[in-house]
Amino acid sequence: MKFEVTILGSSSATPIFNRNPTAQVLNINEKLYLVDCAEGTQQQMLRFDIKASRIDYIFISHLHGDHYLGLVGLLSSLHLNGRKKALKVFCPAPLKEIIDLQLKYSETTLHYPVEFVFTSDERPEVILDNQDIIVETIPLDHRIPTTGFLFKQKKRQRKLIKEKLEELEIPVPYYTALKKGRDYEAPDGTIYKNDTLTIDSNEPKTYAYCSDTLYTEKYFEQINSASLLYHESTFLNDMLDRALITHHTTALQAGEVALKTNATKLIIGHFSARYKTLNELLDEAQSVFPNTELAVEGKTFVISE
C-alpha cells in the first residue's frame, strides 16, 4: 500500500527565501490527505502536480495563520472548479466560525458539503478510521491549543503463495478465506495450515506529524517507534531561550525527540525566517539523530509501498 508524504511548505510564520509556510500532502493508497494549509498552498500543489480535487480530508493543527490561512482560498477554488463530493476538515472548533464568516461576507455558498470534525488538545483521540488508516490527534504544548496527527496503517490481509495454491489446485473462491488466515481442507480431508499457503503482510507503518510545540515528553509514548517522524525545528539550540518563550522546539531537541522515541527516520521543518540556509539546522539534529533530513519543498518521503 502506498504511504508517502510530500512537503509543500517548511517555513514558519512567513514565506521567505523561496520557502512557503507549513503544508504537506499524504498519499495513502492513492487517497490524498492535506495536513495544514498555509497561504500559497494552492500554488505549491500546482507546482508539484498535486490535484486538489483528489483531497477528501484536511487536518489543521492549530489556528496560527501560517498553518491555515490558505484554507478558505482552497475551499473557494474547489467550489469554483465544480466540486460536488464531501470534504472533511479536522480542526480546532473556532476555525468553522472563521470560514463561515469569510464565506458569509463574500456571499459564497459552497456547492459541496464540508464536514468539520473538531479536535481537542486535552487528550489523544481517534478522529478518522477508514479501510486504510487510523488517525489520532497528538496533544502538543504551544501558545494556543495545538495537536499533531498520528497516521497509522491498518494491518493488511495475508499474502497468498500463488505457486503453492496452484500446485494443490485450491479453488480461487477460497482465496479470500486464506487471506483472512483460515486453514484449507482438501476434498480428501487433508488440512493445510494457513502459514504453509500464505505469508504475513508487512508490519503497519506510522507517520507522526508534530506541529508547533515546546519540547515536552508528554507525547513521547504515543509516537514511539514511528516509521517517519516530522517534528518542528524552528530554531538552532543557541536560540533555546527564544524557543521556550514562543513554545517552539530547536533542531537539537527534535533530534532528541527522535532518539528517545525510537523513530526510524526524522524530518525537520518549520524553519525560522532568520535562517537563509538550513545546513546548520540539519547538522544540529543529525548530531543527535543521524537519520534526519530537511523538509525540502517538493520532496516526497516514502513511508511504505
CA separation for the pair 123, 99 (Å, rounded): 25
**Is residue 219 within 8 Å of residue 123, measured between CB atoms?**
no
- Locate cell 491555515: which residue? 68
Q: Which of 36, 49, 56, 66 is catalytic?
A: 66
Beta bridge mates, 235: 250
Least Cα distance to 238 among 269, 280, 273 occurs for 280
Annotation marks residue 141 as catalytic = no
**Is residue 7 within 8 Å of residue 269, measured between CB atoms?**
yes
Looking at the chain, how many residues does it have?
Answer: 305
CA separation for the pair 301, 52 (Å, rounded): 19
DSSP, collapsed to helix, strand or coil, labels residue 57 as: strand
Residue 206's φ and ψ, nearest 5 degrees, are: -135, 150
- Start-to-end Cα distance in the chain: 5
What positions carry a catalytic annotation? 66
